[in-house]
């Protein structure tokens, strides 16, 4: 197992170097110039422009800048935002919990709804429930989520007034950020109603973000279940006269879960992409919105390090998924 782990890890090193090159390279060839954006309509003289560029270190050769970037990376320095002049890491850590909170809620919704629906649809293959739920899953899978979010806002916040429009918690509640997770902090604060407020702010964004993973998980669960139920050992179990319930829960489900867990793990990348759109629509102060804003402001260090961090997270989660898969399914290890 350790060898498998080390081999996987070794395998990641060239990929990670590639990621740093992409993050650095792309961002440095972005057209547009943060110095110009700072100057705005007023314009800036070529001399002053050169002076400011030199101050920011953008007049040096690319390779030197890249090596400098790597060197600082090894010391845990992700650079400083050009807009706020604050360390990128500080900003990332301030916003990251918001995205994690949203993503965790979304994946919970997707799993807790998706898996049972998929199992049920598989058991009752061809039934009305199967047809409706799988059609629903396909609709969810085809959903432009930015539009879906707008619709939910119009209906639930606008017409019905049930949910708040945006933000993470009502501004009436004010307490210290202990963990950065609003649901936990609101409970810790002990303020009455704070948790309810945080939860009600979270509900629409999580539903929107959960839509596509939910559809994928439901479909994957159903087909994994169908496949497993066709296997010999399940047929044998059935032939032995075990109840349907026992066959499903003991034999089929356990084996079907292997690909499903992988699928859930692979949704992390999907979630990060979805977070960009969801956070934009709901003014959710997280990483996705931060990246969009930073791209449009040409805040190079933020885009660079943000890309890097996000890719690293996706990579690590995929590694964990791989390892879990290796644990559950020993056949993979020896390939």
Q: Are 79 and 65 in contact (CB under 8 A)?
A: no
* Member of 1, 154, 187, 327 binding another protein (CB under 8 A): 154
- Residue span binding another protein (CB under 8 A) among the ranges 64-72, 203-211, 222-230, 235-243: 222-230
The interface region with another protein, picked from 172-180, 238-246, 250-258, 323-331 by CB under 8 A, is 172-180
- Cα 267 from chain centroid? 7
Residue closer to another protein, measured from CB, 112 or 157: 157
Applying CB under 8 A, which of residues 132, 296, 320, 330 lies at the interface with another protein? 296
Tell me how crowded residue 227 is: count the other CB atoms within 10 A of its CB: 15
The minimum distance between CB 45 and another protein, in angstroms, equals: 5
Per CB under 8 A, does 129 bind another protein?
no
Minimum CB separation of residue 327 from another protein in Å reads 22
The residue among 80 and 133 lying less far from another protein, judged by its C-beta, is: 80
User: Rounded to the nearest whole angstrom, what is the least distance from the CB of residue 233 to another protein in the complex?
Assistant: 15
Q: Which of 72, 136, 167, 323 binds another protein (CB under 8 A)?
A: 167
Pairwise CA distance, residues 36 & 27, whole Å: 16
Measuring CA to CA, which residue among 39, 80, 51, 99 is closest to residue 292?
Answer: 99
Choice between 112 and 124, CB closer to another protein: 124
> Residue 167 or residue 259: which is nearer to another protein going by CB?
167
User: Which of 289, 305, 309, 326 touches another protein (CB under 8 A)?
Assistant: 289
Return the closest-CA partner of residue 104 out of 181, 194, 189, 218: 181
Contact in structure between 277 and 149 (CB atoms under 8 Å): yes
Stretch that binds another protein, among 109-117, 151-159, 246-254, 324-332 (CB under 8 A): 151-159
Closest approach of Cβ 305 to another protein, in Å?
Answer: 13
Where in 229-268 is the site for another protein (CB under 8 A)? 230
Q: Report 173-202 residues binding another protein (CB under 8 A).
A: 174, 177, 192-193
Site size toward another protein (CB under 8 A) is: 96
Nearer Cβ to another protein (9/112): 9
Residues between 35 and 94 that touch another protein (CB under 8 A): 36-46, 48-49, 52, 55-56, 80, 82-86, 91, 94
Contact region for another protein (CB under 8 A) — 59-67, 101-109, 154-162, 321-329? 154-162
Retrieve residue 185's tokens.
């902090």
Q: Work out the number of other CB atoms within 10 angstroms of the CB of residue 332.
A: 13
- Name which position in 61, 76, 126, 144 contacts another protein (CB under 8 A): 144
């Amino acid at each position: 197992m350790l060898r498998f782990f080390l081999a996987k890890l070794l395998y990641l090193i060239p990929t990670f170097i590639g990621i740093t090159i992409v993050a650095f390279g792309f961002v440095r060839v972005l057209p547009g110039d943060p110095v110009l954006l700072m100057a705005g309509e007023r314009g800036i003289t070529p001399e002053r422009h050169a002076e400011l560029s030199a101050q920011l270190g953008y007049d040096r050769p690319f390779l030197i800048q890249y090596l400098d970037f790597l060197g600082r990376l090894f010391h845990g320095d992700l650079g400083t935002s050009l807009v706020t002049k604050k360390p990128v890491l500080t900003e990332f850590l301030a916003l990251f919990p918001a995205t994690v909170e949203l993503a965790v809620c979304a994946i919970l919704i997707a799993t807790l709804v998706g898996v049972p629906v998929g199992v049920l649809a598989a058991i009752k293959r061809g039934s009305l429930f199967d047809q409706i739920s799988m059609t629903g899953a396909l609709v969810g899978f085809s959903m432009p989520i930015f539009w879906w979010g707008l619709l939910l806002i119009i209906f639930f916040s606008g017409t019905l007034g049930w949910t708040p429009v945006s933000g993470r918690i009502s501004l009436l509640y004010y307490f210290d950020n202990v963990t950065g997770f609003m649901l936990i902090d609101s409970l810790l604060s002990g303020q009455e109603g704070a948790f309810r407020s945080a939860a009600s702010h979270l509900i629409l964004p999580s539903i929107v973000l959960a839509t596509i993973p939910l559809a994928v998980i439901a479909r994957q669960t159903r087909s994994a279940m169908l496949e497993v139920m066709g296997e010999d050992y399940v047929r044998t179990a059935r032939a032995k006269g075990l109840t349907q319930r026992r066959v499903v829960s003991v034999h089929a489900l356990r084996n079907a879960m292997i690909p499903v867990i992988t699928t859930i793990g692979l949704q992390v990348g999907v979630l990060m992409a979805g977070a960009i759109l969801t956070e934009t629509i709901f003014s959710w102060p997280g990483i996705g919105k931060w990246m969009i804003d930073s791209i449009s402001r040409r805040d190079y260090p933020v885009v660079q390090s943000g890309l890097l961090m996000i890719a690293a997270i996706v990579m690590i989660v995929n590694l964990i998924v791989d390892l879990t898969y290796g644990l559950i399914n020993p056949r993979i290890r020896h390939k």
